[in-house]
Amino acid sequence: MARIPGLQVIRSPVAGYGVISTRFRKQGSVICDVEGVLWRAEEKRVDTHSLILEPGIFFDMVDQTRWVNHSCEPNVVVEAGITRRGNGWAQLQALRDIEPGEELFFDYALPEELKERCFCGAKQCRGWIVERPAQPMTMSSRSRRPSAKR
């Protein structure tokens, strides 16, 4: 798998592995496309690094982006969906200007039934990694806490 230019996996001070940007990222810019594999719930895939594209449809992140940690004050948002041909897609976008060397975080926003305690350390930490009502995009979770993924 090709390495995504401008991203680097590190040992994160927040949790486990994390990902930093080695470049400046302008607010609103696309950081990268995510390489992933589509799974459906009935396939009983055991996976802890998947986005939930729709109920029961998961997108397993298989590149460096799978190591991006959760934060309640994220600097990245994940846009994702399913194309008309039925392929999953996702990309990371900068929520604000990001300096070189900054760790990237997005809000995993887990479904209520999968919520986990959060230790992200943000001032606005909600205490739980859980979705907010106006936030349909989620990442399921199991292994990395704070990070969520299933």
Binding site for Zn ion (CB under 5 A): 72, 118, 120, 125
3-class DSSP assignment, residue 127: coil
- Nearest residue (CB) to Zn ion, 22 versus 135: 135
User: Residue 60 or residue 116: which is nearer to Zn ion going by CB?
Assistant: 116
Q: How far is CA 130 from CA 37, 77, 108, 113, in A?
A: 24, 15, 7, 9
CB of 133 to Zn ion, least distance (A): 17
CB of 58 to Zn ion, least distance (A): 23
Least distance CB 15 / Zn ion (angstroms):
11
CB 150 within 8 Å of CB 114: yes
Smallest gap from residue 126 Cβ to Zn ion (A):
6
Q: Which residues contact 49 (CB under 8 A, 6 or more apart)?
A: 60, 61, 62, 66, 139, 149
CB nearer to Zn ion: give 53 or 69: 69
Q: Which is nearer to Zn ion, 4 or 120 (CB)?
A: 120
